[in-house]
């Protein structure tokens, strides 16, 4: 369904609350927008109300909002600050030596960990980024980085933005990684006989964030789990080895792609090719154990990088890129004080 048609349907649903059409007895109810969305857009007495008519002009000067559910999601900010995938003058692909998000203001928001947080509460929390709060301005773009934000909530937020005509760009990190995997699989028929490996967090798997990949290709899922008292490098090597063991014991096609779904994987990306090379060369009884299961040219898919690429293109298309000559500025709103030594670019830009 095209975006204009989707917008019209959503607006009609908001105005009518519930519409009816065919089937049982000639009519069947079609659900309107969630009450929480109507509250946010129409209830002026609500603490969560967004005055869509007063939404800021000159939106290119507003910050980019990154919404996470763990302080580890700060890696998304670090990735954006280091991205140089485009010529900033022409907008064409190709590094130009200038960071793609140079001069942008970025606000990182981290949701306190609450396991039983409802769908409605999550919507209210994220929608809070779309209005003025004290001296903090609304955001012009939303990047959902948290692995506990379901696709259902993400689509709810997109509906809210469309119904309120807020014009906020939305990007989902997990979806960006899946989109890239789909594009690889569909671009070559041979890829239908390969496996996409997914190394991600328990939270992402708990909300079935990657399950629909299996509709297109073979998938092997592996949880990344930190090892107490051991380096992230050791945990990454263990995760890659466990992924290879799944191929060995479950008769998967050869591994061609790996989605790096956990932030530490992107912080220590160089470890993964080393682990793959080790496994391809590993022998027992003078026999290669994994070589026939792991492609010689495994491609790593970095969801955070892909999200940054989607965001850059959208900001240019909507003429919302700041193109400031001043340094980037990052503000962190978190329930937990992060270790900024892990993020050298962010450490320079924080509260700049």
Distance CA 199, CA 160 (A): 32
pLDDT class of 15 with cuts at 50, 70, 90: very low
pLDDT of residue 265: 92
- The predicted-structure confidence for 143-165, as pLDDT tens digits, reads as follows 999 888 889 999 999 999 999 99
pLDDT at 337 over 60: yes
pLDDT at 2 over 60: no
Strand-pair category, 218-223 with 195-200: parallel
CA dihedral 146, 148, 150, 155 (to 10 degrees): -30
Class of domain 175-302: alpha beta
Nearest to 328 by CA among 350, 305, 306: 350
pLDDT class of 17 with cuts at 50, 70, 90: very low
- The predicted-structure confidence for 244-261, as pLDDT tens digits, reads as follows 999 988 888 899 999 999
Structure pTM? Answer: 0.87
Q: Which two tokens stand for residue 271?
A: 């470890």
Domain boundaries, the chain: 53-167+322-349, 175-302
CATH architecture of 53-167+322-349: 3-Layer(aba) Sandwich (3.40)
Domain 53-167+322-349 identical in fold to domain 175-302: yes
pLDDT class of 59 with cuts at 50, 70, 90: confident
Q: What is the mean pLDDT of residues 115-131?
A: 88
- The predicted-structure confidence for 175-220, as pLDDT tens digits, reads as follows 999 999 999 988 876 556 889 999 999 989 988 888 888 888 889 9
Distance CA 188, CA 170 (A): 29
């Amino acid at each position: 369904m095209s975006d204009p048609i989707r917008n019209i349907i959503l607006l009609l649903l908001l105005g009518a609350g519930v519409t009816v059409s065919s089937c049982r007895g000639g009519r069947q109810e079609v659900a309107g927008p969630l009450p929480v969305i109507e509250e946010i857009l129409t209830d002026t007495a609500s603490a969560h109300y967004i005055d869509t008519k007063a939404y800021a002009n000159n939106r290119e000067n507003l910050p980019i909002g990154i919404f996470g559910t763990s302080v580890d999601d700060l890696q998304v900010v670090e990735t954006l600050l280091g991205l140089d995938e485009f010529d900033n003058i022409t907008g064409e692909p190709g590094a130009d030596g200038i960071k793609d998000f140079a001069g942008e203001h970025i606000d990182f928001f981290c949701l306190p960990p609450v396991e039983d947080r409802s769908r409605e509460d999550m919507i209210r929390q994220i929608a809070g980024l779309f209005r003025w709060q004290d001296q903090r301005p609304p955001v012009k773009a939303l990047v959902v980085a948290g692995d506990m934000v379901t696709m259902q909530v993400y689509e709810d937020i997109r509906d809210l933005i469309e119904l309120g005509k807020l014009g906020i760009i939305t990007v989902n990190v997990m979806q960006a990684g899946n989109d890239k995997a789909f594009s690889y699989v569909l671009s070559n028929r041979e890829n239908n006989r390969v496996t996409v490996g997914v190394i991600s967090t328990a939270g992402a798997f708990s909300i079935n964030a990657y399950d629909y990949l299996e509709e297109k290709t073979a998938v092997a899922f592996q949880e990344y789990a930190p090892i107490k008292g051991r380096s992230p490098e050791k945990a990454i090597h263990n995760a890659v080895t466990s992924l290879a063991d799944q191929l060995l014991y479950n008769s998967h096609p050869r591994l061609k792609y790996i989605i790096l779904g956990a932030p530490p994987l992107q912080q220590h990306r160089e470890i993964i090719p080393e682990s793959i090379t080790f496994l391809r060369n590993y022998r027992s009884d003078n026999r290669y154990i994994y070589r026939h299961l792991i492609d010689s040219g495994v491609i790593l898919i970095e969801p955070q990088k892909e999200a940054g690429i989607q965001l850059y293109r959208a900001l240019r298309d909507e003429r919302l890129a700041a193109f400031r000559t001043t340094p980037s500025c990052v503000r962190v709103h978190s329930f937990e004080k992060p270790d900024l030594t892990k993020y050298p670019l962010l450490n320079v830009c924080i509260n700049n």
